[in-house]
Structure 1
Amino acid sequence: MKILCVTTISSTVNAFLIPHIRSLLASGNEVGVACNLIKDVDPEIRRLGCSVHEIEFQRSPIKMENIRAYKRIKKIVLEEGYEIIHVHTPVASFLTRLACRRLNVKVLYTAHGFHFFQGAPRKNWFIYYPIEKIAAKWTDSLITMNDEDYLSARNLKLRKEESIFKVSGVGIDLEKFIPQTTERKQALREEYQYKKDDFIIIYIGELSYRKHQDHLIKAISLVKGKIENVRLLLVGDGGFEEQYKRLVQTLNIEGYVDFLGYRKDIHHLLALADLAVSTSRQEGLPVNIMEAMATGLPIIVTNCRGNRDLIVDEENGFIVGIDDIEACANAIETLYQSDELRTRFAKKSKERIHLFSEEAVLKEMREIYASYLR
C-alpha cells in the first residue's frame, strides 16, 4: 500500500520515524513523508526511496501559512494516490485530518502527548480538547503513548469503534544505548575531560519552559555545598538558553553547570554520567528518560504524564513534585550518598526498558497496521 507520514517539521521524522518507515518498507509498502523542511530530512529517507513533500506547516495554529499547507496536503494526497495517512504532531495532524475528511483514505494519528493534560493551563483544555474532539470524527485510529492520554482518547469518538491504542513510545535502539560499565565510564570521562570522582548529573532536552531546567539549576545551587564535586550537564539548545545561563550566574554556580548545546553523542554522554534527571512540566513518553534507563542510570523525574509511565517511585528512580526544588535536591543528595540505591535503581531500569525497545514498539505498530494494510 501507499502510505504518507505527515509531521509539522522534519526534525520529528529524523528523530523518531526512520525505524518505523524502514519497517513499513520491509513489509512491501511504498512510503512518503510530508513536513516543513526546517532541516533536510535524514539522508537515509531518500536512500530508502521515500518521496519527500515539503509543506509549510507552522507550529503556531494561527499562522496564515497553514492555509496554504492545508491546500497543499490535500492536493498531494489526491494526486499521489496515498491510501493510508499517518499523522503526527498537533498542527499537521489537525490540518491533514481536515483535508482528508471526505477522501477515500485511512487516517491514523499518533498523539505524542496531548496539549490538554492534568495540570495544563485552562486555555489548553479550552482550545485543544475541542479540536481533538472534532478531529476524532475524521480519524480511523488514534495511537497514544501513556496512560493519561489513552484514558483521555477513550472519551473521543472516532470513525471506528475499538480503534484507540497505546504503544510503548517510539522505540529505543538497545544496540546503541547499552548498559554502562565502569571501564567505559572512566574512559569516556578521560576523553571528555571530566574527573574520575565528579558526580555527573545529566538532563537532555530542549532548553525551554516546558522542560523546566531552572528547577534543576536551582536544586544544584542547594546541593553544591554538600556535593562539592557535582557537575550538571545540560544537553540541548532552545529559546531559554540565555535565561538559564543568567540564572546560573545569579546563583553563582558557573563552575557546576555545563551547557553542551545540541549533540549527536548522547549515548556517550549518558555513559559517563552518574544520574539522569528530567524536571519537565509535561511529557508524552520521554525518549531522554528511556535512553537513560537503557544506559542503566538511576533517575529523578518530576511527577508528570509520561515521566510516571517510565519511573516507578523508589523502584527505578525518584518522582518529585514539578515545582518542589527542595525534594529534587534531597533526591540528588540521597542518591549521591548511596551506591547501593543507585545500583538497585539502575538494575530495575535495565530490566524495564525492554518493554520500550524499538523491537517491541515496531511489533505493536505492525499489529495496529495489520487491519489497514489490505
Structure 2
Amino acid sequence: MKKILFGASVYQHLTAFHRPFMKWFQEKGYEVHAVGSNSLGRKAEIEEMGVICHDIDFERLPLSRRNINAYKQLKKLFSTHYFDLIHVHTPTASFLIRYAAKKAQQGKIVYTAHGFHFFKGSSTKNWLAFYPAEKLAAKWTDALIVMNKEDFISGERLGFKKNEDLFFVNGVGVDLKEYKVNNPEGDNFLKTELKLENDAVLITCVAELSKRKNQFFLLENWGSIISKAQNVHLVFVGKGPDEEKIKTFINEHDISNVHLLGYRTDVPKIISASDIITLVSKQEGLPRCLMEGMAVGKPIISTNIRGSADLVSNEQTGFLVDLDDSENLIKSIIELAENEEMRYEFGHNAKIKIEKYSINNVLKDMENIYSKLL
C-alpha cells in the first residue's frame, strides 16, 4: 500500500487544519501517517481517523538541542518506511523533515508556508534566521504552497516557478456548513452569559493571547473607545503566554467592558453571536479566525498586514488599520459599533468573498496539486 506522511511541529496543527486532506488520501486508498510532538495534545483525534502517528521531539526554536534528537528520530523512521508523498508544515519541523527525507531518498515533498517568518516589516533577526534556511530547503522541495500574495512573491525569490512547483491556494479551507450555526439558546446567548443588555455590541478576538497577536494594541486604546461608545464590549477567546499580563493590565488600569473567556470549544457559536470580529496581529499567514467571522457574515476590523489584508477589503468587508495607528483603530471601532446598517452591509460582502476560501474549493486545488505530484 502506498503511504503518505503529514508533518508539523505539533499534532495540534495537523488536527486543526489538515484532517480533510488526510481523509482525501485515505479515501484514495493510501495509508496515512503523521509526525509531530504531542506537547499541545489532540494526537488522539487524528489517530481515531486511522492515521498512524510517530512522535517526534520537535522544538519550534530552530537552534534548540532537542531538534538534534528530532532529526535522529526522523532518520530512524525513514529507514523503516518509504513515503510516496510527504506534506510538511511549520518552519522548523518542515526544514528537518525535508532534509531527512531527501537524505533517505523518500518520495515527493510538499511544503505549505502558513506565513514565512521573514516578511515585510519583520526583524533583521528573522530574515537572517529563516530566509537562508528556506533558500537551502528549496533544493529539497518538490512543491511550495503559499496562501497570500506577499509569500507568493517570496516563493519566486526562493527560486520556485508559478504553476510548476509554486502554487497559490486559498488557505486551509473553511467548512462553511460548520458556521451555519443553529443555536437553540438564541442569538443573544453570549450577551446573556456575560450579563449584558441586548443592545450591547460585542467585538470578539479569537486568538492566542500572545505578543504576536498584539492584544495590547486593543487594550491600550479601549478606554478611549468606550468613552465614546459605552455599549461596546471586547471579548477575548483563547489562552496563551500573555494571559496573566493582560489580566494585570486590565486590573491596574481599571479597564471595563473587557471579557476573557479562555479556551472554548464553541467558537463557531461565539463568532455567530458576536457583532464584529477583530484581529490586530503583528504577523499572520492567512488567519482562520477572520475567515470564520466572514463565513457567518460578520464585519472585520484587522491590522493591515500580510494575510489579513488578503482577506479584508477595506471599507467593503471591514476596516484595515495600520499597526500602531491608534487614531484609526479607535475611529474604525466606534464607526462600526454605532452603525448597524454598515455592519450588515460589510458582513454580507464578507460572506460572499469567503466562498472562494471554502474547504470544497481548497480541496479541489489541493487534489490537483497532489495528483500532479503523484
TM-score tier (shorter)? over 0.9
Please state how far the C-alpha of 1:159 moved relative to its aligned partner. 10
SS at match of 2:111: strand
What residue in structure 2 maps to residue 78 of structure 1? 79
Which runs of structure 2 are paired with 1:289-304 in the superposition (5 Å)? Answer: 289-304=290-305
2:110 matches 1:96: no
For structure 2, the residue ranges without an aligned partner over 5 or more in a row are none
2:277–2:298 contact (8 Å) kept in structure 1: yes
Distance in 2 (alpha carbons) for counterparts of 1:352 and 1:307 = 13
Shift in Å, 1:41 = 3.3
Task: Tell me which amino acid in the other structure corresponds to 2:238.
Answer: G
Counterpart of 2:118 in structure 1 is 116
User: What CA distance in whole angstroms lies between the structure 1 residues aligned with 2:86 and 2:297?
Assistant: 37
Query: What is the aligned partner in structure 2 of residue 145 from structure 1?
Result: 147
Q: Does 1:87 align with 2:107?
A: no
Select which of 249, 252, 258 maps to 1:250.
Answer: 252
How many equivalent residue pairs? 372
Are the equivalent residues in 2 in contact too, given 1:141–1:160 (CA < 8 A)?
no
Counterparts of 1:263 and 1:115, CA distance in 2: 28
- Looking at structure 1, the residues matched to 276 and 234 of structure 2 have their Cα atoms a distance apart, in angstroms, of 10
Q: List alignment gaps of at least 5 residues for structure 1.
A: none
Aligned partner letter, 1:334: E
Q: Deviations over 1:311-348 (max 9, x none)?
A: 01001010001111221111011012212211110010
* Cα distance, 1:131 vs structure 2: 0.6
2:83–2:106 Cα contact (<8 Å) kept: no
> In structure 2, what is the Cα distance between the partners aligned to 1:159 and 1:305?
21
| Bigger mean CA deviation after superposition, 41-50 or 265-274 | 41-50
206-215 vs 219-228, which moves further: 219-228
Q: Secondary structure at the match of 2:230?
A: coil
Q: Which moved more, 1:34-43 or 1:110-119?
A: 34-43
Aligned to 2:157: 155
Normalization by structure 2: what TM-score?
Answer: 0.95
Sort the Cα spacing of 1:159 and 1:301 in 2 relative to 1 into closer, same or farther, 3 A. Answer: closer
2-side partners of 1:225 and 1:160: how far apart? 50
CA RMSD of aligned residues (A): 2.0
For 1:297 and 1:159, how far apart are their aligned partners in 2? 36
Q: Contact 2:15–2:45 at 8 Å: present in 1 too?
A: no
Partner of 2:357: 356
Report the secondary structure of 2:345's partner residue. helix
Q: SS state of the match for residue 292, structure 2?
A: helix
C-alpha contact (below 8 Å) 1:179/1:296 kept by paired residues: no
Shift in alpha-carbon separation, 1:39–1:241, aligned structure 2, 3 A? closer
Q: Is the 8 A contact 2:82 2:107 kept in 1?
A: no
Query: Which letter maps to 1:279?
Result: V
2:202 aligned with 1:200, yes or no? yes
- Report matched runs for 1:38-77 at 5 Å: 38-77=39-78
